[in-house]
Structure 1
Amino acid sequence: MNKEEISLFDEQQFETHDKKFELKNVIEDDNLIKSKDRVQHHGEVFTPKWMVKKMLAEPSIQEKLHNLHATFFEPSAGEGAFLKEILHQKLNHVDQISNKTTWKNNALWALMSIYAIELLEDNLIKAKQAMMDIFINHYQAFIQKELSSNTDLYKSAKYVINANIVQGNTLTFKNSEEKLIEFREWIPYENKVKQEIFTYKSLFNNDDINDVNANEGQLSLFGDIENDDSKASKPVLITKVYEK
């Protein structure tokens, strides 16, 4: 074998059809109770995965899970049992309807449709991280490329999760800083998105003049909120939503 043949052999690139990234199952902790103290003081008992799946299997819920813009709200998120499964199933739908060009936008719209409140900070941190992990896993399995924390997509996904999954008490409508719980509504605008801040309290009967977007009458948590463009932010590309 001559020198040229050896060089060609050493530099040869062997192709493989094996995927570098595989879609993982949503892993759940089987412990439904952290401590008796937390049960007594906060009524904290987590929902088992089999029950989450059964509840989400209802035909009317499945229809919503196949709608990128249909919103879900979890008033007591815990460590995110429902949030994780909802996001996982929504992203399964995104995987089915998207190509590598449209996946990012569709996935962010799916993420923007999921809202939650959690009282306890340690649970909140775990729920947010779990949602980010699921988002990253779906991206990498579909695109077959690592999602860097320096990318616009990563930064936008993290921004949306922080805006939609928040600390607070659903009974008092306030967070630990005694401020009204706030969310962002994500408004499609041509091929971009606008943000409009509203409070959790504004979804219910109230005449609080200090409330943002207070409404007369009760709104459905899954319904449409009337948009006031004067209160909405300037439209931006959905993958750059973190830039506000």
Structure 2
Amino acid sequence: MTLLEQEISLFDAKKYDLNREENFELVTTEDGKLIKTKERVQHHGEVFTPKWMVLKMLAEPAIQKKINDLHATFLEPSAGEGAFLKEILHQKLNYVDEISNKTNWKENALWALMSIYGIELSVDNLMKARAAMIEIFVNHHQAKMQQHLSMNSDLYKATKYIIEVNIVQGNTLEYVNNQGQLIEFSHWIPVEEKVRREVFTYKSLFNNGDVEDINAESGQLSLFDVEDNNLENKYKVCPVTKVYKEEKVND
């Protein structure tokens, strides 16, 4: 048996049954293929990262230190179906499981999720990555709480929303999405036990003299030091489980 065949990933959707009665446990699946079609490799350079390589890269001590930090951010600029995103989320939630009780698990888990960002050119890959991350989060919650996570709950809605905001479609080389709009991300800032959301563009992270973006200041390469004084773009400070409501300051 080859090494690749021995590797496992994080979640098996076929085993995920909302109506099952046995105890909830973390579950795994076999790894996927490295390519979908030769045409996609030729046209997009699409080759998926094998699980063993993901694990090896994330095992670096400096990376592990960041994984064990709820607010340390990760950005995958070519996310594919989420090989790195899924494993980073899984390992961060393992850390959350260790440091949290049932009272503060939700907040800590959402902070971990907020720290993970990704960009993917292909819409079908993007949808798979998002879906896998939701299932990983749900699986960890159910294993920790030993109860179902309702799709109508604030926690599920916040989880789905954060993933949709943080894991986005776009072309990292051109800084735009399929609609020709600049790729946007959100900085989730802790304010006591709540969160303040600030929107910024992916392009603003780079020191490009030709950047046509008010948030892209020449001479800077920083994740979250852009200030936007437009009140229309300001979000209210709110509990982390309520971010999906998107309440603005001037609402």
User: Would the TM-score normalized by the shorter structure come out above 0.5?
Assistant: yes
* Partner of residue 106, structure 1: 108
Change (3 A) 1:37 1:167: same
> 2:111 is paired with a residue of what secondary structure?
helix
AA matched with 1:163? V
Shift of 1:218: 4.0
Q: State the alpha-carbon separation in 1 of the partners of residues 44 and 182 from structure 2.
A: 20
State how far apart, in whole Å, the 2-side matches of 1:204 and 1:20 are: 47
| Aligned residue pairs, count | 223
Aligned ranges for residues 160-239 of structure 1 at < 5 Å? 160-207=162-209, 210-220=212-222, 224-226=223-225, 228=227, 230=229, 232-239=234-241
Deviates more, 1:186-195 or 1:46-55: 186-195
Query: Structure 2-normalised TM-score?
Result: 0.85
User: Contact 1:79–1:126 at 8 Å: present in 2 too?
Assistant: yes
Which residue, out of 23, 41, 47, partners 1:20?
23
Give the drift of 1:207: 4.9
Larger radius of gyration: 1
How far did residue 226 of structure 1 move? Answer: 2.2
Q: Which residue of 1 aligns with 2:7?
A: none
Q: Say yes or no: does 1:152 pair with 2:154.
A: yes
**Residue type of the partner of 1:145?**
Q
The Cα offsets for residues 107-141 of structure 1, whole Å up to 9 and x where unpaired, read as 00000000000000000000000000000000000
Shift of residue 233, structure 1, vs aligned partner = 1.6
8 Å CA contact 1:181–1:199 kept in 2: the answer is yes
1:212, distance to aligned residue in structure 2 (A): 4.7
Gaps of 5+ in 2: 1-20, 247-251
Do the aligned residues in 2 keep the contact of 1:23 with 1:138 (CA within 8 Å)? yes
Provide the aligned C-alpha RMSD in A: 1.7
Deviation of the 1:229 alpha carbon: 7.6
Answering whether residue 52 of structure 2 is matched by residue 40 of structure 1, we say no
Deviation at 1:53, TM superposition (A): 0.2
Separation in 2, partners of 1:168, 1:162: 13
Distance 1:56 1:228, change over 3 A: same
In the alignment, the residues of structure 2 paired with residue 59 and residue 236 of structure 1 have an alpha-carbon distance, to the nearest angstrom, of 34
Tell me what 1:58 maps to: 60
The answer on whether the counterparts of 1:140 and 1:147 sit within 8 Å (CA) in structure 2 is: yes
Deviation per CA, 1:137-162: give whole Å up to 9, x if none: 00000011100000000000000000
Give SS of 1:185's match. Answer: strand
Separation in 2 of the partners of 1:126 and 1:226?
31
1:242 aligns with 2:244: yes
CA contact under 8 A between 1:195 and 1:233: conserved in structure 2? yes
In structure 1, runs of 5+ residues without a counterpart are 1-17
Superposed structure 1 runs of 4+ greater than 6 Å apart: none
Q: Determine which of 66, 70, 73 is the counterpart of 1:71.
A: 73
Distance 2:229 2:238 in 1: 16
Matched residue, 1:137: 139
User: 1: CA distance between counterparts of 2:138 and 2:89?
Assistant: 12
Supply the AA of the counterpart residue of 1:237.
P
Structure 1 partner of 2:82: 80
Percentage of matched positions with identical amino acids:
65
Alignment TM-score, normalising by the size of structure 1: 0.87
